[in-house]
Amino acid sequence: MGGIRKSDAGSTTNIQFASVKLSRPLWNIAKSLPPNPKVERKVKKPHRIPVPHLTDEQAKDVIRRHLTGVPYRILADQTGFSEGNIRAICQGVNRSHLLREVEMEPKQMMGGK
């Protein structure tokens, strides 16, 4: 339904479009007509409003500050994200690669001396 199909397996003279059969000459005329503005598709608006995300650098900063002893609630108030989101980032549930990178930073500094 809604697609273009040949009415018979070997026939090319009749074309069925949305349950309307057109002969080949009528089909060619219909294709050459300009599009009807009443029928044109309109761009749909997204259902959800885009939510800002923490960048990787901001998330690393949140992890560093938590490792120094700042509670989740204060970090949540400062960043504007939920306490659960901040906790998930700091515990490595979300973006665990950032937690590993932050944990490796002091070891890299000590090894370089």
In sequence order, what are the residues at sequence separation of 6 or more whose Cβ sits closer than 8 angstroms to the Cβ of residue 23? 13, 14, 15
pLDDT the model gives residue 75: 94
pTM over 0.75: no
Give the SS3 label for residue 60.
helix
75 and 62 Cβ atoms separated by less than 8 Å: yes
In this predicted model, what pLDDT tens digit does every residue of 73-90 receive, in sequence order?
999 999 989 999 999 999
Residue 4's DSSP bridge partners are: 17
Residue among 78, 16, 67 at smallest CA distance from 24: 16
Which segment of 67-71, 94-98, 105-109 scores lowest on mean pLDDT?
105-109
Residue 3 pLDDT more than 70? no
Residue whose entry in the numeric block shows the structure tokens 């949305």: 18
Q: List, for residues 13-51, the tens digit of each pLDDT value.
A: 555 555 567 788 888 887 888 877 776 667 777 777 666
What band does 113 get if pLDDT is binned at 50, 70 and 90?
very low
Please state, in angstroms and rounded to a whole number, the distance separating the CA atoms of residues 76 and 83. 5
6 or 63, higher pLDDT:
63
Q: Output the pLDDT for position 44.
A: 73
Residue 85 is predicted with a pLDDT of: 92
Cβ atoms of 20 and 8 within 8 Å: the answer is: no
